[in-house]
């Protein structure tokens, strides 16, 4: 989103980074190519959960939301809270100052829509009410 590079260029660059050998490359491929191929559908899924136009999201937040939405929909072996936590950590590391809070709120809404049984079955975190708005 930032550099507007081709998926093959992003893939080649990322595979050359130190530490990539520790990565789950199959999952990486699914996320990279799945998010790019389904960008319009992911945007359509995300839009109703936003409080601003999609064009006002930073490219980092938008990309992280794509990853979360894609994983909620296609990577059912990854628990929803793991998806949520990893996306929050990405937003903290690469996004704006409070972008992770926004990502958290949007992805909580998407999790409830895309994985309702899993979210409903999850025990509430200590100090929170179950089903409370994020």
| Interacting residues of 122 by C-beta distance below 8 A, sequence separation 6+ | 80, 81
**Structural domain total, the chain:** 1
pLDDT of residue 11: 86
For residue 1, tell me if it sits in a domain.
Answer: no
Q: Is 78 helix (H, G, I), strand (E, B) or coil?
A: coil
Kindly report the CATH number assigned to the domain that includes residue 71. Answer: 1.10.940.10
Cα–Cα distance, 27 to 30 (Å, whole number) = 5
pLDDT of residue 131: 46
pLDDT of residue 134: 47
Structure-block tokens of residue 103:
């990502």
Alpha helices in the chain (DSSP H): 7-15, 25-37, 39-46, 59-74, 80-94, 99-114, 116-121
CA angle 100–122–45, rounded 5-degree value: 50
Domain of 98 in residue numbering reads as 7-121
pLDDT by residue, tens only, the chain of 134 residues = 778 888 888 888 888 888 888 988 899 999 999 999 999 999 999 999 999 999 999 999 999 999 999 999 999 999 999 999 999 999 999 998 899 999 999 999 999 999 999 999 987 766 555 444 44
Cα–Cα distance, 30 to 36 (Å, whole number) = 10
For residue 128, tell me if it sits in a domain.
Answer: no
CB 62 within 8 A of CB 1: yes
């Amino acid at each position: 989103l930032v550099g507007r590079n081709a998926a093959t260029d992003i893939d080649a660059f990322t595979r050359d980074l130190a530490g990539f050998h520790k990565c789950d490359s199959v999952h990486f491929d699914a996320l990279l190519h799945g998010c790019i191929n389904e960008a319009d559908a992911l945007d359509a899924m995300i839009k109703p959960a936003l409080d601003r136009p999609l064009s006002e999201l930073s490219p980092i937040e938008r990309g992280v939301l794509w990853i979360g939405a894609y994983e909620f929909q296609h990577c059912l072996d990854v628990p929803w809270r793991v998806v949520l936590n990893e996306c929050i950590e990405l937003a903290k590391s690469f996004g704006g100052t409070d972008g992770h809070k926004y990502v958290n709120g949007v992805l909580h809404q998407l999790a409830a829509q895309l994985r309702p049984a899993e979210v409903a079955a999850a025990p509430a975190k200590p100090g929170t009410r179950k089903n409370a708005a994020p």
